[in-house]
Amino acid sequence: MAAKMGVPVCPHAGGVGLCEFVQHLSAFDYLRVSRTMQDRVIEYVDHLHEHFADPVRIRRGHYLMPQTPGYSIQVKQDCLERYSFPDGEAWASLTQMPVDSE
């Protein structure tokens, strides 16, 4: 739809692990659609990659292909355990706070 109307597209991938979710779009576009990197962009925010088993890699402003099969969205087990709501360690101090009854 965007191509038909001449509108550029930039997949949103900022800050919450979305870079790992959209890197395959860049690869597919390059390999099967445009065969060029010219005028192609995907947002990138260098944040939260440490939670992924195979985090996104960038070189000279371009997404690189993942080194393992799949979409590179496998979250590390220790992160899943730490941040799982409501029993994860990261939530413990918040769930034990008294609730104001007023």
Q: Please indicate, yes or no, if residue 66 is contained in any of the structural domains.
A: yes
Q: Please indicate, yes or no, if residue 71 is contained in any of the structural domains.
A: yes
Alpha carbons 83 and 86: distance in angstroms, whole number: 8
Range of the domain at 91: 10-95
Q: Please indicate, yes or no, if residue 5 is contained in any of the structural domains.
A: no
Q: Please indicate, yes or no, if residue 4 is contained in any of the structural domains.
A: no
Q: Please indicate, yes or no, if residue 41 is contained in any of the structural domains.
A: yes
Q: How many domains does the chain have?
A: 1
Query: Whole-model pTM?
Result: 0.73
Beta bridge partners of residue 59, listed in sequence order: 62
Q: Please indicate, yes or no, if residue 85 is contained in any of the structural domains.
A: yes
Instruction: Tell me how far CA of residue 88 lies from CA of 16, 28, 78, in angstroms.
Output: 18, 36, 10
The per-residue pLDDT string of the chain (102 residues; one tens digit each, 9 = 90 and over) reads 888 898 888 888 877 788 888 888 888 888 998 888 888 888 888 889 999 999 999 999 888 888 888 888 899 999 999 999 888 999 887 766 666 666
Alpha carbons 100 and 6: distance in angstroms, whole number: 55
Among 51, 53, 49, residue whose Cα is nearest residue 68 = 53
